[in-house]
Amino acid sequence: MRKLRVLALMHPDLVPPESLDGGDAREQFAWKTEYDVTSTLRGLGHEVLSLGVQYDLLPIKKAMDEWRPDIAFNLLEEFHGETMFDHSVVSFLELLRLKYTGCNPRGMMLARGKALSKKLLAYSRIRVPAFAVFPVGRKVKRPAKLGYPLIVKSLMEHASVGIAQASVVDSDEKLVERVALVHERIGTDAIAEQYIDGRELYSAVLGNERLMVLPTFELQFGNLPDNVPRIATARVKHDPEYQEKRGIYAEVAGDLAPELAKHIVHVSKRIYRILELDGYARIDFRLDREGHLYFLEANPNPDVALREEFAGGAEAAGIRYPELLQRIVNLGLRRGGRTP
């Protein structure tokens, strides 16, 4: 294996220390992905430079000219504090002809738009929840065919930003209130979609042209009260104390019929290609009580921390964490960009 110079791009606040010694547990949770990736790549023998990027692209150009990286490992989820600008950084890498890991900017744009991705997939006869979009500054009027319960989300944000138990609404009054909250607090258009009562499934896909679908993972909601909707709120996804208290964790999905497991693999590949994704991505589904599989959203460049679902799916497929990161790097090297 050739040793590489890897420029790891991340939020400035998430640049990890060299060691975990003496760190606060909650603080470590914040930059666990950045630490896992950079420390593992160094363990593989690569030279890694961590670069915080948020308001200026010139540091990338400077690092490229002075340090001459072979590839950028993209761990950015936003730019200028805006999720919708994350693809712009990748576009800049393409203009510089610097190879990079993860998804291309076209796939990121298609996947980030929750309404657009659902329209494309519904056109391709993939089952999606019924939905409506409520733009900022427009009156909230629910289409007559869109019945309750509904879940209200930001149209552009990801990682469960703004999602709470109150996001599931069952009346026009609550719908108006929740849409207004998304408009005012998050500052984006809102989408209200049919709430699918059932199992939350994650399908991880790895590859550019040839695709590998990892074993399906399921989010287990532990001891949440029976009257609480089983949804991936911000606390469920990002609060380790809440996860431990409620017994929330993800594991390989059990009791999936062979036909369903095969269908998930097939439809995951179709979604990946329709949305023009590459590198690696996670496709989120809900499986309702009748066994119908609904596409929720696609996540290009999902969390690849050691103990997150993507790495867990790889481990279940016999791919250890260092090998997974090396495969992600290799996929980036094989796709376009500047020749080292």
What percent of the chain clears pLDDT 70, i.e. is strictly above it? Answer: 95
Q: Whole-angstrom Cα distance, residue 330 to residue 248?
A: 33
Q: Which domains does the chain have, with CATH numbers?
A: 5-102 (3.40.50.20), 109-127+197-316 (3.30.470.20), 131-194 (3.30.1490)
Integer CA distances (angstroms), 223 to 54, 242, 245, in order: 38, 11, 9
> Taking residues 113-120, what's their average pLDDT?
94
Integer CA distances (angstroms), 12 to 184, 187, 195, in order: 26, 23, 36
Whether this prediction's pTM lies above 0.85 is answered by yes
pLDDT in tens, 303-323: 999 999 999 999 999 999 999
pLDDT given for residue 83 in this prediction: 82
Lateral strand order in the sheet of 190-194: 131-134, 190-194, 150-154, 168-169
What 3-state class would DSSP assign to 217?
strand
pLDDT given for residue 81 in this prediction: 85
Contact 13, 78 (CB under 8 A): no
Which residues contact residue 149 at a Cβ distance below 8 angstroms, ignoring those fewer than 6 apart?
168, 169, 170, 194, 195, 229
pLDDT band, very low/low/confident/very high, at 93 (cuts 50, 70, 90): very high
Any idea what DSSP says for residue 308? Answer: S
